[in-house]
Amino acid sequence: MQLAQHSTARTGFSRRTAVTVKGQAVASPVPASNPSALKTDVAKIAVLGASGYTGAEVVRLCALHPNIKVTVLTGDKQAGKNFSDVFPHLVTATNVPKLVKIDDVNFSDVDAAFCCLPHATTQEVIKKLPSTLKVVDLSADFRLRDPAVYAQWYGHEHAAVDLQKEAVYGLTEVYRDQVKTARLLANPGCYPTCSQLPLYPLLKAKLILPEDILIDAKSGVSGAGRSAKESNLYCEIAEGINSYAVGSHRHMPEIEQGLSEAAKTPVTVSFTPHLINMSRGMQCTSYVKLAPGVTVDDLRAHLAATYEGEPFVRVLSKGVIPHTRHVRGSNYALMNVFPDRIPGRAVVISVIDNLVKGASGQGLQNLNLMMGWNETTALLQLAMFP
């Protein structure tokens, strides 16, 4: 059952007003002047790679969407199976098709596609799709704008460079206007979403310095995907925490790409991810240097002004620590800023659900904008607790 949308919710943003914090003009969303102009057509959607966690999450969210009919689900290894046989928790999702092989799909009868395929596989598939199809890609294949950087971090040349130039990076709250006109949307990674949402506006306003940014990131096991891996077995994960991809995680260049754009100067971050014994959830704790004359209260005030009225980003009250359990199952991002005991530094904490705001939920948020629908449609579920 779709949750009712309260009349006080700020949705359908189409323009922004200026708010001033410490002499910095920031963008604050205001409601669209003509919400009734939003499209109400029903679109036929394909979910490619639907047998993984992000694919299942897309289907779960789309089941609540009045403008979406999922007509294609692909999963080559699971082809021929009912979707509820692969994901029994979605047995109540009605009118969901069986899984098929991607080579058997007739895309002429599809309006848009969520691509939840593995990295490298995605670019080969998307370049063969009809150019009229709107695509939200949840892999990393189109996030990095420089093909040379992609080749450096992924170990092979990009197979669809022309499409890479066309792709719009979909950190919704930052690139909303570009997302609206996108045909191919590169949905951000979970770590880049969680870390950039607070750091991007602070760097853009020059309230923090672009050097010595440390990001200590932690994610639930679902971030590693659904494929069988020894390192993800229960006995390998339970009752512990471990770092991984130290100094080499592929989300680093994506984070640096966005933060460098915000700072208008190259930014190199120290980023270390950790695997936590939980199924979903993500926290990024970022340690930053304050610009001269700036206080921790200035950082928090700027973030509060930047995200005032945003439907999915909340800056918590002073002193309140964000918890991953308070965003579980939702498309919300919570954040706050705290003083470090080292003078001139601050601690910025942000949390998201890595499968929702960090993947499928933000993907649907972006598709809503691309299709001209209300941005919050099917995404206003509150977090699950306990």
Question: Of these residues, 62, 190, 194, 284, which one is catalytic?
Answer: 190
Cα(345)–Cα(294) distance, integer angstroms: 10
Residue 375, both tokens: 């941005």
190 is catalytic: yes
- For residue 292, which of 348, 343, 342 has the smallest C-alpha distance? 343
Residue 312, both tokens: 């999915």
Q: Give me the residues paired with residue 29 across strands.
A: 16
SS3 299: helix
The number of beta carbons lying within 10 Å of the beta carbon of residue 127 is: 14
- For residue 196, which of 358, 386, 367 has the smallest C-alpha distance? 358
The number of beta carbons lying within 10 Å of the beta carbon of residue 340 is: 15
**Would you say 49 and 72 are in contact if contact means Cβ atoms under 8 Å apart?**
no
**Would you say 337 and 296 are in contact if contact means Cβ atoms under 8 Å apart?**
yes
The number of beta carbons lying within 10 Å of the beta carbon of residue 325 is: 13
**Would you say 286 and 214 are in contact if contact means Cβ atoms under 8 Å apart?**
yes
**Torsion sign across C-alpha atoms 142, 76, 107, 190:** negative
SS3 235: helix
Cα(134)–Cα(125) distance, integer angstroms: 14
Tokens 């205001």 -> residue? 30
- Active-site positions? 190
